Amino acid sequence: MALIVQKYGGTSVGSVERIGAVAERVIATRDRGNDVVVTVSAMSGETNRLIELAGQVSPHPAPREYDVLVATGEQVTIALLAMALVDRGHEARSYTGAQVPIVTDSAHTKARILRIDPERVRADLDAGRIVVVAGFQGVDEHGNIATLGRGGSDTTAVALAAALEADECQIYTDVDGVYTTDPRVVPRARKLDRITFEEMLEMSSLGAKVLQNRSVELAGKYNVPLRVLSSFEEGEGTLITTEDSDVEEVVISGIAFNRDEAQLTVQGVSDRPGVAYRILGPISDANIEVDMIVQNVSKDGSTTDFTFTVHRKDYEQALEILRKQAGELEAREISGDPDIVKVSLVGVGMHSHAGIASKMFELLSREGINIRMISTSEIKVSVVVDEKYLELAVRALHRGFELDKE
């Protein structure tokens, strides 16, 4: 008898009918002899409805109260799902984050889980009940309701699985697994049966938004086997787990890309300690997230060019900040380009295989694609190219690395 934690997102519980379908799926899992804990998001559209209400009451809603408000979204879903289970003759109980309790810090609207007391849930499981837990929310040490921020339901599921020492954490989504790349760009993209936590992190942070990064990190940290499956189709999905012997033979798992990047360059700054901080400090103070950072060796021994990428929506603001700083930075020029994309090869096997990066560059050059920036890590090689080349680059790499073949 295994203990399975399942998570269903907003689309999967988007209507009364779909909640019924989720109940059937939960019961099927239970009928196969498993204990089941289910985490659910708010019904799709509900969180936005609540946020709009808040916006009508206050342009800057008090964060503590914002959390009290939006936490009702998941509370509605847990109650309806538990009802649906009871209606089908199963014992079930719903719990809000505060009831479990899922204890978080007090950073309202973006709280982090500190710990979960699993006793109450475990007692219900021992009594033969299915337990339904509200995703996305918890309670701080002072009893205030706190939410984990958007997408936090995945994190709730993984944290519950870790606290309960579950055998598997299943994340039901609207896709049937993790693909070698986006099937909308490469129709022959192939579903992966397995992928490591590290690869999934790279895939996910690079735009393959199947899972929240925080949830993958957490699953890796506590070694919770994580499976991505479709709520709407049958199938085994993709299992995300630690590297195993099989994985060694796989060099490249997939190709991720991110359309929403913009590039900023500070040219001709003095190449001395502290320059990176002086450039990025004001950017980060403005709560702009920086993605890639590339600084090349000094060309003339005294000045260097410093390039980084940000989300495209932050481009104008970042450019303005840099321009204001230009004098202080003693930079020769501030430039930027909002029409760039990032394409990355991801694979745990990569670091032990020389020539992967050079083969990537060759494949791109054969298509006449100019590479503007390069950045590498243990398990990925990312390049920045002009936006217009995105599909061409992804397809060339997918074919060149034979990702469409098993």
Residue with tokens 């993958």: 216
With CB under 8 A as the contact rule, which of the stretches 46-54, 208-216, 219-227, 390-398 interacts with a copy of itself?
46-54
Q: Which helix (H) or strand (E) holds 97?
A: none
Instruction: Determine if 82 is a binding residue for a copy of itself (CB under 8 A).
Output: yes
Instruction: Determine if 156 is a binding residue for a copy of itself (CB under 8 A).
Output: no
- For a copy of itself, which is the closer residue by CB, 58 or 298? 58
Instruction: Determine if 56 is a binding residue for a copy of itself (CB under 8 A).
Output: yes
Instruction: Determine if 28 is a binding residue for a copy of itself (CB under 8 A).
Output: no
d(CA 176, CA 229): 5
Instruction: Determine if 405 is a binding residue for a copy of itself (CB under 8 A).
Output: no
Instruction: Determine if 89 is a binding residue for a copy of itself (CB under 8 A).
Output: no
With CB under 8 A as the contact rule, which of the stretches 1-9, 47-55, 170-178, 218-226 interacts with a copy of itself?
47-55
- For a copy of itself, which is the closer residue by CB, 64 or 194? 64
Tokens read off for 87? 């209606």
Contact 262, 340 (CB under 8 A): yes
Pick the binder of a copy of itself from 24, 32, 45, 57 (CB under 8 A): 57
With CB under 8 A as the contact rule, which of the stretches 90-98, 168-176, 241-249, 317-325 interacts with a copy of itself?
90-98
Instruction: Determine if 16 is a binding residue for a copy of itself (CB under 8 A).
Output: yes
> In angstroms, what is the C-alpha Rg of the chain?
23
Instruction: Determine if 336 is a binding residue for a copy of itself (CB under 8 A).
Output: no
Smallest separation, CB 132 to a copy of itself (Å)? 9
Instruction: Determine if 2 is a binding residue for a copy of itself (CB under 8 A).
Output: no
Instruction: Determine if 13 is a binding residue for a copy of itself (CB under 8 A).
Output: no
Torsion angle, alpha carbons of 214, 218, 220, 224, to 10: -130
Query: What amino acid occupies position 18?
Result: R
Smallest separation, CB 5 to a copy of itself (Å)? 20
Pick the binder of a copy of itself from 60, 184, 297, 354 (CB under 8 A): 60
> What 3-state DSSP class applies to 311?
strand
Tokens read off for 284? 């980060």
Instruction: Determine if 68 is a binding residue for a copy of itself (CB under 8 A).
Output: yes
Residue with tokens 């061409």: 392
* Site residues (CB under 8 A) for a copy of itself, limited to 107-136: 120
Pick the binder of a copy of itself from 31, 87, 362, 402 (CB under 8 A): 87
d(CA 302, CA 366): 35
HSE (CB half, 13 Å, CA atoms) of 236?
Answer: 7
Length of the chain: 406
Instruction: Determine if 106 is a binding residue for a copy of itself (CB under 8 A).
Output: no
180-185: long-range contacts at Cβ-Cβ below 8 A with a sequence spacing of 24 or more?
180/253, 180/254, 180/255, 180/398, 180/403, 180/404, 181/208, 181/254, 181/255, 181/256, 181/257, 181/394, 181/398, 181/403, 182/208, 182/257, 182/394, 185/257, 185/390, 185/391, 185/394, 185/395
Looking at residue 288, what DSSP letter applies?
P
Instruction: Determine if 94 is a binding residue for a copy of itself (CB under 8 A).
Output: yes
Smallest separation, CB 122 to a copy of itself (Å)? 15
Smallest separation, CB 180 to a copy of itself (Å)? 39
What residues contact residue 215 under an 8 Å CB cut-off, 6+ apart? 154, 155, 157, 158, 171, 226
Contact 199, 254 (CB under 8 A): yes
d(CA 308, CA 294): 6
With CB under 8 A as the contact rule, which of the stretches 27-35, 91-99, 190-198, 213-221 interacts with a copy of itself?
91-99
Binding site for a copy of itself (CB under 8 A): 16, 19-20, 50, 53-54, 56-62, 64-66, 68-69, 71-72, 75-76, 78-80, 82-84, 86-87, 92-94, 96, 98-99, 120, 143-145
